Structure 1
Amino acid sequence: MNYAIGIDIGGTKIALGLVSSDGQVLSKTSLSTDLSLHPSDMVDKIAEAANRLLSDEGLQQADLKGIGIGAPGPLNTKLGQISEPPNLPNWWNFPIIHSFKRHFQLPIVLENDATAAALAEKWTGAAKAVDHFIYITISTGIGAGIYSHGSVLTGATGNAGDIGHIVIDSSRGTCSCGQRGCFEYIASGTAIAREASSLLGRSVTSKEVFELALSGQDPAMESLVHRVFGYIGAGCVTLINTFDPELLIFGGGVSQVGEPLFEAIRNYIKLHALNPSGRNTPVVPAALQQNAGLIGAAALIHTNY
């Protein structure tokens, strides 16, 4: 059996794990993303943690098939660079693969984190039986991994699936990208918390918002959540009409709301998807949850994606 290290880089946390060729996570750990450090110094810390994982399992670098890295976009997979992710401002234009090569003389592959998570769900998760699906993550931001005709759709530079910047409602304010009413700006966990905090006059998390809304304690929160569910439904219909998937898989923190979210999306899709078959597109939770990112990063090495 051979092994890969999967690394999932996020704005607040970096998860990494040692993953076998059959998709099992043998061991894993995580680090806080320290934005006060130069990214090359952060890479040093990640490499140290990866070597500890190997040592704890009685393995060496020679036992590795390679290292896969999932990172938020925009990025440039051709150049092995992280380009301009909003949540990693000091990582802009950072040559991440070159930096890791200081520590590992192994194949190293970089892809968008949502693309990697989609690959994980295909490999060992909820999409094993289908060849056309979209993995959608809704948390701090919104992104997607698109799997079609038996492979992930990456685009020219690895940025296919950046659905957070589809314009859904141009009346709803200006996104960080400069457009008005982007999907991410109005329906992400960050957006929900921002809007609710303004309505309530105090700081709340998106988790608290859903608790208030779904318990019936606060009509204003119920109205907000209903509106957000509609935005997510509209985003899904756009994806269904564009890519004709067999399945939609949801991950990310907002997906933890569970069935109330999925039922609302299914109902919206039934009403508005153009193709009659698309109106019955299944909507399911991600099977791998918090491990999807690191398993998907390892899958960049283990699978012929």
Structure 2
Amino acid sequence: MQYAVGIDIGGTKTAIGLIDSNGQVLAKTALPTGSEPSHMVDEIAAAVNKLIGDAGFSASSLKGIGIGAPGPLDTKKGIIAEPPNLREWWGFPIVDSMKRYFSVPITFENDATAAALAERWVGAGRETDHFVFITVSTGIGAGIFSHGKLLTGATGNAGDIGHIVIDPSVGTCPCGQKGCLEFIASGTAIARMASELVGREISSKEAFDLAFSGENAEVKELIDRVFRYIGVGCVTMINTLDPELVIIGGGVSQVGAPLFDAVTDYIQKHALNPSGRRTRVVPAALSQDAGLIGAAALIHIDYK
């Protein structure tokens, strides 16, 4: 049996797993994402070797290593370019650094792109050749499947929808534009805006609890507005790409029906094409393992 290593580098943690050719996670671990990338690669390599050793697999069965990381990045050069939540990693040559430890093929893509590939392989996108996967978490990003192929763009940054401008009146995004989707509808944004309303620091989960319990009408209004913003983002993708399906994942998607009902309602009212108004919106199937499985899928699947 051949297996691949999947590495999902996030803003706060890095997940590492062994995934077989059927998309099954055989073993996994996680490390805090450090601020010194060279040292972090040393730790990742040690964790990979320990996983392989503990699982009793032979090194010869390792097909390759797939890496997913937040963008902007440059997949042609194997460089993590300028992700807002990983400033210490800017310009870091992740692929060449991993090659110091491993001689197998190493593939590198945007984390949302990798997660979309996972959903296509063993998740909610198995039955369609045209879908958009949107992750709404710390940030917002998308992976795009069209005509049975993953669209990655010239440098691997296709689908960076978190920086579509939605409402310039709400303030300046860290990227410099005003009113980006990520700045007004991500989990980070929800926590920031709800904290301002209640006068103390709260999480996005606490914001949802306040909204849906009826305890705070202002927070409820905020959450309703956020769901509309996400609907606007989805309609923009539907009008641009004409998918059959929109898959939403990430931490914010765990709120469930209130989000999906609101987004579906917005799409039915505002998508331009009548067929677009019928676009299905479904939750991601792979939850927390999507990044891991997607990173490994970069090795297991011919995706371009």
RMSD between superposed Cα atoms in Å: 0.6
Which residue does 1:249 correspond to in 2? 247
* Aligned with residue 189 of structure 2, among 185, 188, 191: 191
For residue 216 of structure 1, report the CA deviation from its aligned partner.
1.3
TM-score norm. by structure 1 comes to 0.98
State the Cα deviation string for residues 25-83 of structure 1 (Å, max 9, x = none).
00000001122xx2111001001111111011111322100000000000000001100
Identify which of 294, 297, 300 aligns with 1:296. 294
What's 1:266 paired with?
A: 264
Residue number in structure 2 paired with 1:21: 21
Equivalent residue, structure 1, for 2:31: 31
Corresponding position of 1:287: 285
Counterpart residue number, 2:177: 179
Match status 1:90 vs 2:109: no
Q: For structure 1, list consecutive stretches of 5 or more residues without a partner in the other structure.
A: none
One-letter amino acid of the structure 2 residue matched with residue 298 of structure 1: A
State the alpha-carbon separation in 2 of the partners of residues 200 and 166 from structure 1. Answer: 28
1:48 aligns with 2:46: yes
Q: Distance in 2 between matches of 1:20 and 1:156?
A: 29
1:208 aligns with: 206
Q: Structure 2 counterpart of 1:245, which letter?
A: P
SS in 1 for 2:169: coil
Structure 1 CA distance, aligned partners of 2:7 and 2:132?
21
Inter-partner Cα distance in structure 2 for 1:210 and 1:127: 28
- Distance in 1, matches of 2:214 and 2:198, equals 15
Q: Partners of 2:201 and 2:88 in 1: how far apart?
A: 27
Identity of aligned residues (%): 68
Match of 1:51, SS state, is helix
Helix, strand or coil at the partner of 1:34:
coil
Distance 1:288 1:93 in 2: 30
Question: 2:160 is matched with which residue: 156, 159, 162?
Answer: 162
Q: How many Å separate the matches in 1 of 2:277 and 2:47?
A: 46
Count of residues paired in the alignment: 303
Query: Counterpart of 1:128 in 2: which secondary structure?
Result: coil
Aligned partner of residue 102 in structure 2, secondary structure: coil
For the residue of structure 1 that corresponds to 2:302, the secondary structure is: coil
Normalising by structure 2, we get a TM-score of 0.99
SS at match of 2:97: helix
Runs (4+) of structure 1 exceeding 4 A deviation are none
Counterpart of 2:8 in structure 1 is: 8
Which ranges of structure 2 fall in alignment gaps of 5 or more residues? Answer: none
Three-state SS of the structure 1 residue aligned to 2:85 is coil
Distance 1:111 1:75 in 2: 8
